[in-house]
Copies of this chain bind each other. A is one copy, B any other.
């Protein structure tokens, strides 16, 4: 194992996410995390200066991954609606597969753990989404409303959808996915 192993960061993150999803941000201790990760408590302090840094780092990592995956396969040549649907599907799939991250991010939203700096950086990651919405509006396909409002609408509905699916345990079939997308699209379309 050379230098601080990337796999160990991943191990710690995975443990923390699992626990937060189960017990909430308020319910986890450094001891819990180390135990879940199968390492000694002291080792956490080799990788992070403390609990605050650990959580901020995890928050930043989740946000980055979430955005990175959203635009996979995005092609500006493609007509808007299918291109948008592609992004929407990327987000939906990712969030369903990484449900713990959804919970974690939600819990962080009003947590004192997350510093203003971390928040600021996370905010900047949203730029591509604004660009996408702007394109749809320029092509007169989307309602001409404050784009922040449209985005929060999309994301809010999506998050609840993800939660609903996750907890209901109902399998998400192709037709159901399409129906859900149309629900969203009907709201946004001009």
Q: Which residues of A contact B (CB under 8 A)?
A: 20-27, 103, 106-107, 109-113, 143, 145-146, 148-149, 152-153, 155-161, 163-164, 168, 170, 179-180, 183-184, 186-189
Contacts and interface: CB of A to CB of B under 8 A. Distances in A.
Contacts of A164: 148-149, 152
A183 B143 CA distance: 9
B168 A160 contact: no
- Say what secondary structure dominates the interface of chain A: helix
Contacts of A187: 157, 183-184, 186-187
B160 A111 contact: no
Contact of A161 (B103, B153, B183, B188): B153
B156 A24 contact: no
Nearest to A185: B187
